[in-house]
């Protein structure tokens, strides 16, 4: 039986902290059940971590007086822990559970089965059952096997369109997003606002690139139009950055539509008229006819960078020394050979201080069985996940193929192998 399907549970939700730069959304909560599992010295609360996709690890989630030091889940699986637990893993839709364990407790599961361990120093593994309806116990020491754990019970039945179990807040009544521009939302704590970018499709605002300033106190928004594109496409949404002076920068591009990166700045009162960085003199369009797509804005120190899919359909960056007022072409991130449509897809994250992380693939998924790779820019160099320098000068246009960086998922597997 799936442990998450049993009995009533009261639940508080919050965002956990993670120690690794993973691009995932996770929910952590505490549960108290009418029929709890046996207590141990580690505490009685249970912390539940549910991962929406891929894999994640958290070592900072709290479970009452004790804490979880490691938890992971893959492909929709769930890991539930409490007490001082060293490791919990679950793979491919299975569930791994440790309830009130102490240091050294481990639960693991694969395929569609469940693994459950209760109390001190208990080890359990299972998962050979393909239906996910039974639990197979291989070994246990120092404890008993729990037949149920704290569950999650929905409090409402989904119905209709745009349903949420709570209040749905609409920031823009006509807006589209794409995956590969960041950041599309800024939470400006100093100003008490959320800044959101989107692109309209249809109606009187068709093709408009827009930014909404949402006031957290009044719960009201102001919509600003930055420019209009040749046709409506969610790839045209702007990336955003907050400037040191409290203003904002937005940059966007068409979807392989022209050789321009468009940008606008906000000075605290109004957005400037849009301008553009023109790429033709740098090699746009490419020999295969490809043009510019995407923008990703991040600071390194006082310098603003924007990574753009551009020359040879590989990521290059534009650089601004004046907080987005003007731009110049900088270096190349990778030099993966183009297979089919483009030379891979990239996601970026930065701390806006001294580091920009990236995840990348080799090609469009219809053209290649891609793996996923990670690296980061810091101190003028490009490193793999473990800090080894792969490219000793990120400012030049000589670059390594993306497989030179750390493979975090291998095609056809659920691992790095």
Residue 386 φ then ψ, to 5°: -90, 0
pLDDT at 156 over 90: no
3-state secondary structure of 166: coil
Look at residue 151 in the predicted model and tell me its pLDDT.
Answer: 63
Spatial CB neighbours of 308, under 8 Å, sequence gap ≥ 6: 253, 261, 292, 293, 294, 295, 296, 315, 316, 317, 318
- 415 or 313, which is more confident? 313
Look at residue 53 in the predicted model and tell me its pLDDT.
Answer: 30
Query: In the CATH scheme, what is the code of domain 185-409?
Result: 2.120.10.10
The mean pLDDT value for 297-315 works out to 95
Q: In this structure, are residues 85 and 68 in contact, taking their beta carbons and an 8 Å threshold? A: yes
The mean pLDDT value for 35-59 works out to 32
Look at residue 321 in the predicted model and tell me its pLDDT.
Answer: 97
Look at residue 348 in the predicted model and tell me its pLDDT.
Answer: 97
Residue 312 φ then ψ, to 5°: 60, 25
pLDDT at 368 over 70: yes
Look at residue 283 in the predicted model and tell me its pLDDT.
Answer: 82
In terms of average pLDDT, the best of 42-56, 84-98, 199-213 is 199-213
Spatial CB neighbours of 333, under 8 Å, sequence gap ≥ 6: 307, 314, 315, 316, 317, 346, 358, 360, 377, 382, 394, 399
Q: In this structure, are residues 84 and 102 in contact, taking their beta carbons and an 8 Å threshold? A: yes
Q: Where are the domains of the chain?
A: 3-126, 185-409
Smallest Cα–Cα separation from 199: which of 212, 186, 188?
212
The whole-model pTM stands at 0.65
Name the band, by pLDDT with cuts 50, 70 and 90, for residue 89. low
Query: What secondary structure letter does DSSP report for 342?
Result: B
Average pLDDT, the chain: 73
Q: What does the pLDDT look like over 105-153, one tens digit per residue?
A: 455 544 444 545 444 333 444 443 333 333 333 333 444 444 455 566 7
Look at residue 176 in the predicted model and tell me its pLDDT.
Answer: 92
Look at residue 139 in the predicted model and tell me its pLDDT.
Answer: 36
- Torsion-angle region of residue 189: left (phi > 0), alpha (psi -120 to 50) or beta? alpha
pLDDT at 16 over 90: no
């Amino acid at each position: 039986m799936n442990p998450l399907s049993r009995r009533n549970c009261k639940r508080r939700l919050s965002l956990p902290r993670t120690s690794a730069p993973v691009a995932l959304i996770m929910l952590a909560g505490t549960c108290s059940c009418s029929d709890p599992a046996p207590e141990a010295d580690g505490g009685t609360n249970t912390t539940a971590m549910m991962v929406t996709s891929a894999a994640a690890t958290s070592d900072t989630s709290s479970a009452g007086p004790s804490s979880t030091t490691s938890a992971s889940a893959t492909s929709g699986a769930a890991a539930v822990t409490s007490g001082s637990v060293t490791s919990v893993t679950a793979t491919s839709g299975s569930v791994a559970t440790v309830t009130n364990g102490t240091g050294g407790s481990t639960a693991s599961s694969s395929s569609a089965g469940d693994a459950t361990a209760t109390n001190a120093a208990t080890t359990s593994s299972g998962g050979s059952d393909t239906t996910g309806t039974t639990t197979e116990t291989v070994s246990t020491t120092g404890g008993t096997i729990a037949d149920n754990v704290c569950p999650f019970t929905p409090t409402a039945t989904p119905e209709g369109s745009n349903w949420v179990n709570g209040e749905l807040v609409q920031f823009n009544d006509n807006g589209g997003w794409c995956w590969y521009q960041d950041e599309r939302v800024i939470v400006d704590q100093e100003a008490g606002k959320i800044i959101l970018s989107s692109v309209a499709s249809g109606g009187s605002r068709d093709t408009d690139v827009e930014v909404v300033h949402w006031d957290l106190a009044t719960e009201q928004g102001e919509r600003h139009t930055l420019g209009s594109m040749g046709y409506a496409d969610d790839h045209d949404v702007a990336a955003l950055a907050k400037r040191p002076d409290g203003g904002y920068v937005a940059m966007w591009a068409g979807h392989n539509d022209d050789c321009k990166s468009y940008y606008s700045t906000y000075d605290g009162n109004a957005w400037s008229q849009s301008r553009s960085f023109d790429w033709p003199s740098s090699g746009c369009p490419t020999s295969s006819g490809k043009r510019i797509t995407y923008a990703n804005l991040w600071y390194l120190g006082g310098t603003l960078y924007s990574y753009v899919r551009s020359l040879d359909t590989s990521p290059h960056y534009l650089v601004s020394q004046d907080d987005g007022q003007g731009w110049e072409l900088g270096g190349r991130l990778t030099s993966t050979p183009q297979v089919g449509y483009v030379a891979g897809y990239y996601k970026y994250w930065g701390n806006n201080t001294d580091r920009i992380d990236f995840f990348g693939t080799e090609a469009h998924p219809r053209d290649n069985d891609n793996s996923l790779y990670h690296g980061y820019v810091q101190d003028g160099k490009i490193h793999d996940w473990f800090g080894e320098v792969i490219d000793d000068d990120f400012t030049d246009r000589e670059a390594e193929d993306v497989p030179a960086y750390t493979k975090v998922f291998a095609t056809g597997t659920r691992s790095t192998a």
